[in-house]
Structure 1
């Protein structure tokens, strides 16, 4: 699917923290913490510069994240709007994200989930939240910068929708193997010519990890 005109939607940055071989967790789902504290701090700084941060419900169930911008003393930045893609409303009411300041997007009739706002959006062919509908809702709420943090299926959905404008990729110097959980799930590509293409802008060490920055060609 071709990208929509950027003026019609938020700029989308995909932020990934993986092993060297592109895995976000072990075969059993263990994922905290793959990268070190320096890389995590840079991730919080990226959050503070984003209007909204988005994850899928599988990340909520596995990691129970807060998605706040936790910065060191002397640095300030607003917490972004927190967004969860949860087509079947599986987010527990006791989750850290089931609070005010979080929007949970579903394809079903909304039911209360803690203190979060639950909003129905259109479904795609697989029954999951349609990415264009998600971006339309965020645009209507004034979000100009969206950071997508995972998991692998959510990352793949945004890539396949053709809307990932930039990638912030943190790689830890470890290997998790083919049975680990991928940072980007299947794209079902049969030919290299169809692969989404990006240009590397920078690469730098952050602690023991490598931080790579890309923009779409």
Structure 2
């Protein structure tokens, strides 16, 4: 399974202000590239906190033929807090949970463990059983950190806007609990491209 982490942050790695405001950190060109990345993957994965905070559609919105391909939307939701009214509570959505399954709109619900949170390994195993081979992680910081801690992120697509949100902003990657620098996940930069006022940086795992 190829795992790509997509980040859209300020220069200091924040995805939202302390109050949760996040639309829009990056500009139109960066957002368009983000939709193209969605179209290139079999699934888009977010945590339930992103669903509750932003109510995203997680669809591909492009003017090209690629717009007709919408990947499976995957929500990590340990306690099944995704509301029936959420935009993702529809067909072509899979909710992975550790709670007793129940209906959530038209989404499919699958229990992947009996306790705790759905682990990155369990999530990828569930997607592999469906024949999927690539997933784009779009948020939030806790989900990004969990996949990085597990060593499962193969590539990072990082869109950075020329703004600073400060230490009270919400981080794109939550705590990694690193005791030593040697334990930090390591990546090699592949390219840097200007998209209007934003930067698009691409990395692969070493």
- TM bin, normalised by shorter chain, reads over 0.9
Aligned counterparts of 1:140 and 1:49: Cα–Cα separation in 2: 19
1:8-52 deviations in whole A, cap 9, x for unaligned?
xx1100000000000000001111111001000000000000000
Q: 1:73 to 1:199 in 2, by over 3 A?
A: closer
2:24 aligned residue: 33
Runs of 4+ in 1 over 3 A off after TM superposition: 73-77
2:61 aligned residue: 70
The one of 187, 193, 203 equivalent to 1:204 is 193
Unaligned runs of 5+ in 2: none
1:168-207 deviations in whole A, cap 9, x for unaligned?
0000000000000000000011111110100000000011
2:177 aligned residue: 188
Aligned counterparts of 1:209 and 1:77: Cα–Cα separation in 2: 27
Pair 1:90-2:78 in alignment: no
Pair 1:100-2:76 in alignment: no
The one of 132, 136, 139 equivalent to 1:143 is 132
1:3 aligned residue: none
Unaligned runs of 5+ in 1: 1-9
- Report how far residue 123 of structure 1 moved: 5.7
Aligned counterparts of 2:84 and 2:34: Cα–Cα separation in 1: 26
Aligned counterparts of 2:55 and 2:28: Cα–Cα separation in 1: 18
1:13-32 superposed matches below 5 A: 13-32=4-23
1:113-135 deviations in whole A, cap 9, x for unaligned?
111001101267xx111111111
SS of the residue corresponding to residue 157 of structure 1 reads helix
1:92-111 deviations in whole A, cap 9, x for unaligned?
10000000100011101101
Contact 1:35 1:172 in 2 (8 A): yes
Aligned counterparts of 2:200 and 2:114: Cα–Cα separation in 1: 34
SS of the residue corresponding to residue 186 of structure 1 reads coil
1:164 aligned residue: 153
2:163 aligned residue: 174
2:51 aligned residue: 60
1:136-183 deviations in whole A, cap 9, x for unaligned?
110011111100001000000000111000000000000000000000
Tell me the TM-score normalized by structure 1.
Answer: 0.93
Q: CA RMSD in A?
A: 1.1
Aligned counterparts of 1:121 and 1:164: Cα–Cα separation in 2: 20
1:215 aligned residue: 204
Aligned counterparts of 1:93 and 1:166: Cα–Cα separation in 2: 33
